[in-house]
Amino acid sequence: MPFTATPMFPGDLYDTMDHMAATAAPIRSDNQKDQASSTWQQILALGWQGVVIEENSGGVGAALADFAAIAEAAGRHAVALPLIARCVVAPMLLAAAQPGSTRGLLERVSAGQASVCPVIHVSGDQKLRASKNSDGRYVLEGELRGADLTEPASHLVFNTVTGPDATPLLLLLPISKLPSNTRYFKGIDGRRTADIPLSGVVVETDQVLRQGEAVHAVLQDAEATGAVMNCVQTVGALGAMIEQTIAYLSTRVQFGAALSTFQALRHRTVDMYVAFEGARGLVKQVAEAMSSEPMATYAHHRDAALTKLYLTTVGRMVAESTIQLHGGMGMTVEMPAARLAIHTLICNLQHGDRLHYLDQLSAQMAADIQVSTRSI
């Protein structure tokens, strides 16, 4: 029998994105890095970069759950756009800057006149450092890795460290002032990422958004929020994969019988469905809690890490099962189910992969044990 996944976050935003994404090309084939796709132009025109930006900065001031509807619908169609990075993570980083310093930019972002690409490295493993020159300005040394420039950006917001004590910095640079020897890479899902050499680039005083330990807390909040929204997008893709798998098995005939009558295939499909429903319930609960409560809490960071870790396992299992149930090696990337499988595997790597969150949770557990030991 046919199956249709029930949306976690139904509403107008979900329906609009679902309709838009259904007619969009999931994988970009052009090489015009400075030209926005038609789908991204529509997103900018709709003001979706300003969904979670406060009203006093020109945004909508909506809850995170409202943007989750957009992310879920985008996942159903394997839309390879930097939605979460540009519409959630970047606004969070800009809002955390010194009061009033980024209000004008936030207003332009909300109006679709600017787009900020965030590149954050919470673990401090970035290949970039800053040092002060004789006039007190910071000079960068190294390169910024992994900037998602699938769609054009006007600015980069990123973190680095400075000094012998590795003081965190949060910086904002306009794309137009960056070196031209940027290396671009195209992923299997069509995304364009870039490694940007920044050695010798001077950072003006007003381009330092924040510095000190407060930067680390801001980065943790942004990463956790991005990870949960990424999980919402993954669940959207999982639901669509199961819909298409059931439809394929119900119509494909082999040995004179529909594939849906083969018991082994039915069992594997049920495993996919059970995993999907478990992931759907977990992600919905965590996303709603994060949307309704203050972000900067230990529980939210832990729940985000656990959720992302779980979704990387479930996502891979459902993606691999989808490929096998569609014929395995005979499957081509032109099939919607194959694009969804690729999209899910790439989502597993965005906003922190499985090993990143294993390390994070292990560190949290070790810190909890130390606190408990001292209290005995």
Topology of the domain comprising 116-211: Butyryl-CoA Dehydrogenase, subunit A; domain 2 (2.40.110)
pLDDT-wise least confident of 87-96, 187-196, 215-224, 285-294: 285-294
Confidence of residue 312 (pLDDT cuts 50, 70, 90): very high
**Cα torsion 295, 296, 300, 304: sign:** positive
Give the C-alpha separation, 226 to 223, whole Å: 5
Confidence of residue 367 (pLDDT cuts 50, 70, 90): confident
pLDDT tens digits, 315-366: 999 999 999 998 875 556 678 899 999 999 999 999 988 998 998 889 888 8
Alpha-carbon distances, residue 173 vs 115, 160, 203 (angstroms)? 12, 13, 8
pLDDT-wise least confident of 59-68, 98-107, 179-188, 364-373: 364-373
pLDDT tens digits, 149-183: 999 999 999 999 998 888 999 999 999 878 888 99
Mean pLDDT, rounded, for 31-53:
88
- Domain ranges for the chain: 12-110, 116-211, 216-367
| Mean per-residue pLDDT of the chain | 89
Interacting residues of 297 by C-beta distance below 8 A, sequence separation 6+: none
pLDDT at 309: 95
pLDDT at 27: 52
Residue 306 has pLDDT above 60, yes or no: yes
Taking the domain 12-110, which CATH number applies? Answer: 1.10.540
Give the C-alpha separation, 13 to 370, whole Å: 45
Interacting residues of 68 by C-beta distance below 8 A, sequence separation 6+: 8, 9, 229, 232, 287, 291
Taking the domain 216-367, which CATH number applies? Answer: 1.20.140.10
pLDDT tens digits, 202-245: 999 999 999 998 998 999 999 999 999 999 999 999 999 999 99
Confidence of residue 298 (pLDDT cuts 50, 70, 90): low
pLDDT at 191: 92
pLDDT at 194: 94
The β-bridge partners of 158 are 119, 171
Q: How far is CA 160 from the centre of its chain?
A: 20
CA nearest neighbour of 110 among 156, 157, 54, 65: 54
